[in-house]
Structure 1
Amino acid sequence: MREPGTFDAVIVGSGFAGSWAAKELTEAGFRTLLLEAGPLLTPGDIPVRNHRRDGISSGPGDWQSQRIQHEHPAFLERGPHLFVDDGEHPYETPAGLPFYWIRGMQVGGRSLTWGGTALRLSPHELDAADLDGCELRWPLRYRDLTGAYRAVEEMMGLCGTAEGMARLPDSSFRTRGGPLTPAEQDFQLGYRATGTRPVPVRYIPDMPRQGEWPGHTMQATALAAAIRTGLLRVRTDSVATQVTTDAQTGLATGIRYVDTRTRTVRHARGRVVFLCCGTIETARLMLNSRGDRHPDGLGNSSGWLGRGLMDHPVLYADGILDSYPPVSGYDPSFRQSGLLVPPPTREQDNVRPFGIWANLQRRTEAGSGAPLGFFSAQGEVLPYWGNRVTLSERRDKWGVPVPVIECRYGSHEKRQYEAMRAAVEHAATVVGLRITAIAASLTAPGLNVHELGTARMGSSPGTSVLSSENRCWDCLNVFVTDGACFPSAGWQNPTLTIMALSARAGRIAATLLRESTY
């Protein structure tokens, strides 16, 4: 029998993972509580992508309370109010190892600020063999995700084209996206490599939908669907501090959290718990959830909790297209227009595959009006044991230990930079781009806002935190479906996979709730 006041499911975090878990659980008929650390916003709080808001200064001295968040390239375009105050949400890093933890705390999470790129992982990433001593294999196969991928893509309204490429599986597309510029058309025709070719970017458009919410937000899609069931309760301004567990069974009983408006500690009881608060926050919450049955943190019997932290490092190059005239009327956004070059099918130089994005002839140089071109290559950090999240003795204003983030690039990433640079320089020659600036190093860890790992999925409890169903080996009624669950990163942007994994896990949890006595 369920205790009075107990929900079927308690979810921490209302972003991509939390909203999709809520959708699946409520549509299956289960009463669900969604805890969100931040406030509820309105559609008017979300600016149009890639349009810098008037009246906002860009000087670093103007953002002393957001010095870390200000480093993100889209900080001003998306709006500083959608990023956290660094002073109120501290973290620590070892000397000489900066990590830029870019965060947004509000209902919908980072769906309010993301770029919209939506790519499936391919069988290659899910079946990848060992490299540099790192165990990379996922515990599920591509066929296990295809149904969830399709469900997410159809609801989100993915733009793109079917291409039949091994390293970039086709998706369910609603539209083709915008037209290519003359320079992009020439690049597409002229680029030659073994087993790959430039294809139109794949993205979620931001055209307003539910209640004028931009289409890339959870309020316009999964979260809206969950609310329509009448079975979802959302509690804002609620900071989760600990997963509570039963002393005898070790199973989760709910979430202890702080109501930040009243500064009171409360307890939300649930038959199952979903942790969807973001890779680093999820690791912190699990590490802080110690008990007699979980002395080193919830799910840490393998020792992998907090370890294997990853990001997607990027190399940028800008230049001038001397042989092309300026044009107008094309979408200038970087990841919502132009071309994507998937990795070739052959392996190269003992580095993991990476993709290249091309945005050509869509912007002009200030003053001269010359058409500009931009390339970026995005690769993969390996899940090193030493890249990790631990807890400091210092505590934040809500009494939770501050996370310590330790992340460094290794020899693989150094080789990857060289391979990326050579590939981008070659791509520039194809279209006659005169490179005027190219990054001397990969972006610093964290700046791409693709932090992954720390509660990895795996095939056994001795080498991982989660099973192939995203269930915690040591606490089977706890699911982790945000980026923390990734055992390896792949080169693709992770958001589509996070949503698909969460939708799949939500359906699994619904089946367990029907059959179990949790």
Structure 2
Amino acid sequence: MNDIDAEAGPGYDAVVVGSGFAGSWAAKELTEAGVGTLVLEAGPPRRAEEIPDRAAAYAAPAGAGEGSWPRQPVQSSHFHFRPRGPHLFVDDLEHAYETPPGMPYRWIRGMQVGGRSLVWGGSALRLSPFETEAADVDGSSPAWPIAYRELADAYDRVEELLALRGTAEDLPQLPHGRFRGDPPVLTPAESDFRRSYRRPGTRAVPVRYVAADAGDGGWPGFSVQATALGAAGRTGRLTLRPHARVTSVTVDPVNGRATGVEYVDVGTGVRHRVRARVVFLCGGTIETARLMLHSRSPRHPRGLGNSSGWLGRGLMDHPLLTSSGVLQGCPPEAAQPWTGRQCGLLVPPPQPWSEGVRPFALWVSLQRRVAGGAALGGIDAQGEMLPHRRNRVRLGDRRDRWGVPVPVIECGYGPHEERLYDLMRQEIERAASVAGLKDLTVAEALTAPGGNVHELGTARMGASPADSVLDPHNRCWDAPNVFVADGSCFPSGGWQNPTLTVMALAARAGRFAAGLLRDGEC
């Protein structure tokens, strides 16, 4: 490894690590507020033509593109891998991680400019007050230090740019969004289910999603290049540097505040140090935990921001239970093709909830696929994993080729998640009966942690530095010019797909940091 070659010039107002959902929204808010911003991305840039048409990719015959991917054994297990393309997923051998025996974890990654937005299914759901206030009800997780109303404006801004599709529903557990464009189209079988399904405190509603309509430069609408990252670039205040693997956050030895970051040019091996007044960590839950743990110094001997001992802990995913069956009496010629995005119906959990475990939702997709001359359907249940302290990311003894310790991921379900399985199965079977699904097959276990690609936690927000890593504005308690705005900041997961909330939190934190910079407080 070559010696450090310090960046020339006065540095930047802000440096953002990662160019995916969180990093792009932080950069958008910073640059639009007049802040000169450097975004460092470990992976390569992409061209719009490298992103396959989503509808065409999933319409390919079964088995198309089958093969062996010895360098991507984990990534190839994900259902988006073949249709979206192996090039949009990492090389597992080069980007290794470790797990203890008996604790499998699937870490699905898209290390490139745009991150996992390039393979996103587009599901976009707000948290509700029931999730942000859940700790007050059952005490099973730490409290969110912010109320739903404090996120509402950021949700509005994000949904406007994403051109979110959906319908307004009078359900308190499913807050209204800013919808644009035509509402989702249901199949005849889904419309029948929507009319027939009955459960107190909830009902089936169309899913909410971001369409693939091409934006500027031909980028699909679900990508950050078509939305936040593109907007940041148009300000003229964004510097985007791909192939830049950040290895540590540098800090002032006197006050412990961040002074910038060190990174390696993955092509040349040259190490660089860049200065910044504000540092945003947005590389993804596990990568952010690893980077902070590795950023040790006399002022941060256990890792940057780890005075509480919670850094790296509380790792979560969303437990998922899948099922499938055959729709009898449903003509296959009426089926509408699945296009790789969220489609069909969502059944949010009823409120109030009184089952003794955190609530779960159903996703109902009927008459979207055909096999053997019959229309098929599926009903999946997604719930919440509690932030157990034992589920964590720590640094291993082995180092990668950039000199950073390989992460060890220790994550498994507990009694709460085990109880979820039985409740989920019962409701899936009841809903399948309403839908007319026959020959129903329900998975024998929840998806393994990581398999749902909703990793959260490890640097949680809180009201006190005694039991959290970040304050209510996503600032590191121990280094208040460091912001963590990806999924690692979640104190609990809720049942909703988290991507929209990640973007809203990053947008909120970016706007707050821009105000501090403007006022000379950073």
Q: TM-score range by the shorter chain?
A: over 0.9
Gaps of at least 5 residues in structure 2 are 1-7
Equivalent residues of 2:187, 2:335 under 8 A apart = no
Tell me, in whole angstroms, the C-alpha distance in 2 between the residues paired with 1:331 and 1:145: 35
Given the alignment of the two structures, is residue 193 of structure 1 paired with residue 208 of structure 2, yes or no?
no
- Asked if structure 2 preserves the Cα contact closer than 8 Å seen for 1:327 and 1:362, the reply is no
- Secondary structure of 2:71's aligned partner: helix
Pair 1:348–1:335, CA change in 2 (3 A)? farther
SS at match of 1:240: strand
Give the conservation status (yes or no) of the 8 Å contact 1:328–1:362: no
Q: Which string of whole-angstrom CA distances, capped at 9 and with x for unpartnered residues, describes residues 173-232 of structure 1? A: 002433211111110011111110000000000111111000000000000000001100
SS in 2 for 1:327: helix
Residues 134 and 384, structure 1, Cα contact 8 Å, conserved in 2: no
Paired-residue identity, %: 60
Match of 2:216 in 1: 210
Name the structure 2 match of 1:19. 24
Q: What is the one-letter code of the residue matched to 1:217?
A: S
- Aligned-partner Cα distance in 1 for 2:344–2:48: 27
Count of paired positions: 512
For 1:109 and 1:22, locate their aligned partners in 2 and report how far apart those are by CA, in whole Å: 14
> Is the 8 Å Cα contact of residues 331 and 374 (structure 2) preserved in structure 1?
yes
Matched, 1:356 2:362: yes
Which of 60, 65, 69 is matched with 2:71 structurally? 65
CA deviations on 1:376-410 (whole Å, 9 max, x unpaired) are: 11111100000000000110010000000000100
- Residue 491, structure 1, aligned to residue 492, structure 2: no
Distance 1:153 1:462 in 2: 34
In 1, Cα distance between equivalents of 2:346 and 2:327: 18
Q: Is the 8 A contact 1:116 1:204 kept in 2?
A: yes
Which of the residues 338, 349, 352 maps onto 1:343?
Answer: 349
Deviation, structure 1 residue 371: 0.7
Match of 2:4 in 1: none
C-alpha offsets along residues 441-498 of structure 1, whole Å, 9 cap, x if unaligned? 0000101110000000000000100011000000000000000000000000000000
Using the TM superposition, give the Cα deviation of residue 44 of structure 1 relative to its aligned residue in structure 2, in angstroms: 0.8
Query: 1:131 Cα shift?
Result: 7.9
Aligned partner of 2:49 in structure 1 is 44
Q: Could you say which residue in structure 1 is the equivalent of 2:377?
A: 373
Paired residue secondary structure (2:131) = helix
Partner of 1:400: 404
Residues 1:469 and 1:146: Cα distance change in structure 2 (over 3 Å): same
Alignment check: 8 A CA contact 1:46 1:112 kept: yes
**In angstroms, what is the RMSD of aligned CA positions?**
1.5
1:246 positional shift: 0.1
User: Please, which runs of 5 or more residues in structure 1 have no aligned partner?
Assistant: none
In 2: Cα distance, 1:64 partner to 1:260 partner: 22
Deviation for aligned residue 1:516:
1.9
Match of 2:145 in 1: 139
Q: What's 2:419 paired with?
A: 415
Q: Given that residues 335 and 369 in structure 2 are in contact (C-alpha distance below 8 angstroms), is that contact kept between their aligned partners in structure 1?
A: no
Give the one of 142, 149, 156 matched to 2:162. 156
- CA–CA distance in structure 2, aligned partners of residues 344 and 4 of structure 1: 56
What residue number does 1:220 align with? 226
Cα distance, 1:270 vs structure 2: 0.4
Quote the offset at 1:130 in angstroms: 6.0
The residue type paired with residue 165 of structure 2 is: C
1:138-194: CA deviation from partner (whole Å, max 9, x where unpaired): 000010000000000000010000002111111000024332111111100111111
Provide the C-alpha distance between the structure 2 equivalents of 1:124 and 1:326, rounded to a whole number of angstroms.
40
Q: Identify the residue that residue 433 of structure 2 maps to in structure 1.
A: 429
Alpha-carbon displacement from aligned partner over 1:276-298 (angstroms, at most 9, x marks no partner): 00000000000000001100000
**Residues 220-239 of structure 1 mapped to structure 2, 5 A cutoff:** 220-239=226-245
Change (3 A) 1:56 1:64: farther
Identify the residue that residue 245 of structure 1 maps to in structure 2.
Answer: 251
Matched, 1:172 2:178: yes
Q: Calculate the TM-score normalised by the size of structure 1.
A: 0.96
Equivalent position SS for 1:403: strand
Match of 1:511 among 478, 490, 515: 515
Give the match's secondary structure for 1:66: coil
Instruction: Give the letter for the 1:341 counterpart.
Output: V
Counterpart Cα distance in 2 of 1:362 and 1:286:
44
How far the C-alpha of 1:323 sits from its partner, in A, is 2.1
Q: Is the 8 A contact 1:310 1:489 kept in 2?
A: yes
Per the alignment, in what secondary structure is the counterpart of residue 112 of structure 1? helix
**Alpha-carbon displacement from aligned partner over 1:38-57 (angstroms, at most 9, x marks no partner):** 01110111112252568964
Q: Aligned with 2:268: secondary structure?
A: coil
Query: 133-142 or 221-230, which moves further after superposition?
Result: 133-142
Distance 2:322 2:439 in 1: 11
2:266 aligned to which of 260, 264, 268: 260
Q: Please tell me the residue identity of whatever aligns with 1:375.
A: I
Specify the SS of the correspondent of 1:64: coil
Amino acid aligned to 2:99: T
Q: Distance in 1 between matches of 2:310 and 2:188?
A: 49
1:119, 1:202 within 8 Å by CA — same for their partners in 2? yes
State whether residues 450 and 493 of structure 1, in contact with CA within 8 Å, keep that contact through their aligned partners in structure 2: yes
Residue of structure 2 equivalent to 1:79: 85
